[in-house]
Chain A
Amino acid sequence: MKVMVCPLNGPRPVSEFAYGGEIRTSPNPDTCSDAEWSAYVFNRSGSPGAKYEWWCHIASGFWFAVLRDTTRDVVVATYPAEAVRCGLTPLPAGGASA
């Protein structure tokens, strides 16, 4: 991956972006158990596959969502942050290695 298509700025060199980690949904801290909360805080999906991630275009401070294959480092699609609120298409269980 050398170039990433930013939903706001178009194709830019990847050195202009910062990785923000996988997009994950928080359990409700008021109602979840300690075990659920520690699993959310610490555990990660460490295996390779296609994952939804947060990325930021540093120069413009623009955060957006990326679907990326972490085996081959290929960006499948990028989405504006609103798409995350509206709900991204769920990935097949285990993450598809595209």
Chain B
Amino acid sequence: MPYRLLRFGLSRKHPEARMFTHHDSMRTSYDVVIIGAGGHGLAAAYYLARDHGIRNVAVLEKGYLGGGNTGRNTTIIRSNYLTSEGVKFYDESLRLWQDLAVDFDLNLFYSKRGHYTLAHTDSAMRTMRWRAEVNKHYGVRSEAVDAAFVKQGIPTIDMSCGGHAPILGALFHEPGAIARHDAVAWGYGRGADRRGVEIHQQTEVTGIRVQGGRVVGVDTSRGSIATPKVLCAVAGFTPRILDMVDLHTPIYVHPLQAMVSEPVKPWLDPIIVSGSLHVYVSQTARGELVMGASLDPYELHSTRPTLDFVEGLTSHMLDMFPFLSEVKVNRQWAGLADMTPDFAPIMGVTPVEGFFLDAGWGTWGFKATPVCGKTMSHTVATGRNHPLIEGFTFKRFADYRLTGEKGAASVGH
């Protein structure tokens, strides 16, 4: 190591400011405590400080910032959902994404690619037409397209998919994009930090104190703090936090895996999803293919990936792109997906006063990071659900009013 670099490393006077302030200790009380420094928790902290002037906020993270599903996802951003609640909500998120990099003064590598959801059967084609019509009704750019259009957009694809799943057409969603997930967490984190929010990593919430039906504080691995408001944004850990306040939800947890190839020359511009083949794939700016499939088949709270997953996914990748047979898989990993029966999230106020929930984000919540921050900060600040999350309330199950989003969210993310 060159001497100057060593001296620089040991010096306390780094010219570069650190991304975040390090706090040696926590205060005894905060106006709001946010559990989970993933994209969702940090975005809520950012908008609480920026738009609502609430700055006495702590974000508590048991591991490291962005180390949960935010840092494990395949970063597909789209708004071509099926229900009116979903389309309006995700479309608002897509709008917020557009000037986020400027807001943060940080490159998010937001890259608009176009998004194909392939249809291999007549019934899939019907769903694509249905989605296209709902999307267009709300001003979202989506089209049901035929096989010739697909071939033109993705010239290298084997249209017969190995002979057993011929492509009949697709739902083409022009605004579909990918972005750099870590940068999203860092951007929101730095923005919140600069406005006075405290981020405490390596700090696990172990209990929530409730008196007379309202939140009064939280217990952590580094001591107790008083607070009247807690926002829970912990994805796959949600049921464990809900046990602390004795709330019951339909959320169940299955692992979701993904993998990435060695970098290759850029050849795949759009994002491609096939529900029948259980594949979705995009190519990053670095040339790696980022690939994922459907949920693991049973409940598990462990992030150990499996060989079954790689075998299944690579065989379906080769159905579409046989010439990739020489390309190596570099890494694979898993995250814990907090699933709901209607494939819609659970957001907003709960029966415990001062306890707010942003959960049930399963396999599809990265794209919603900005709009979740916006709507949850409003909900926490005012104590009332933001109008955009009315279809996603905690009490919709007791009311038998589900928001059926499965047709658009199951493999597509």
Contact = CB atoms under 8 A, between A and B. Distances in A.
Which residue, A22, A43, A51, has most C-beta atoms of chain B within 10 A? Answer: A43
| Chain A interface residue bracket vs B | 20 to 34
A1 to B, nearest CB: 9
A75 B397 CA distance: 32
Given A18-B297, A46-B242, A47-B243, A73 B251 contact: no
Contacts of B287: none
B250 A42 contact: yes
Given A15-B308, A46-B249, A70 B239 contact: no
Given A18-B297, A38-B397, A46 B252 contact: yes
A70 B250 contact: no
B308 A46 contact: no
Contact of B341 (A19, A42, A47): A42
A43 B250 contact: yes
Contacts of A71: 301-302
Interface string B88-117: 000000000000000000000000000000
Contact of B398 (A38, A47, A51, A73): A38
B249 A47 contact: no
Contacts of A27: none
B398 A35 contact: yes
Nearest to A73: B300
Interface in B261-300: 297-300
B397 A43 contact: yes
Contacts of B242: 46
Given A35-B398, A38-B397, A46-B238, A72 B302 contact: yes
A83 interface: no
Interface string A11-39: 00001001100100000000000110011
Contacts of A51: 299
Dominant secondary structure of chain B at its interface with chain A: loop
A48 interface: yes
A34 B400 CA distance: 10
B328 interface: no
B279 to A, nearest CB: 19
A44 B252 contact: yes
Contacts of A38: 397-400
A43 B249 CA distance: 5
A46 B238 CA distance: 8
Contacts of B238: 46
A44 B298 CA distance: 14
Contacts of A43: 248-250, 397
B397 A73 contact: no
Nearest to A72: B302
A42 B399 CA distance: 11
A80 to B, nearest CB: 20
B27 interface: no
Given A19-B297, A46-B253, A47-B239, A73 B248 contact: no
A94 B242 CA distance: 12
A45 B240 CA distance: 10
Interface string A40-70: 0011111110010100000000000000001
Which residue, A19, A42, A53, has most C-beta atoms of chain B within 10 A? Answer: A42
A50 B251 CA distance: 17
B248 A39 contact: yes
Nearest to B239: A46
B300 A70 contact: yes
Nearest to B402: A42
Contacts of A72: 302
A44 B397 CA distance: 12
Contacts of B400: 38
Contacts of B250: 42-44
Contact of A73 (B243, B253, B302, B338): B302
Given A39-B248, A42-B341, A43-B248, A48 B398 contact: no
Given A15-B308, A19-B297, A46 B251 contact: yes
Contact of B299 (A18, A35, A70): A70
Interface of B: 238-240, 242-243, 248-253, 297-302, 308, 338, 341, 397-400
15 contacts: A15-B308, A19-B297, A19-B299, A38-B397, A38-B399, A42-B397, A44-B250, A44-B251, A46-B238, A46-B242, A46-B338, A53-B298, A70-B301, A73-B302, A94-B243
Q: Which 5 A-B pairs have the closest CB atoms?
A: A46-B239, A19-B298, A48-B301, A42-B397, A47-B239
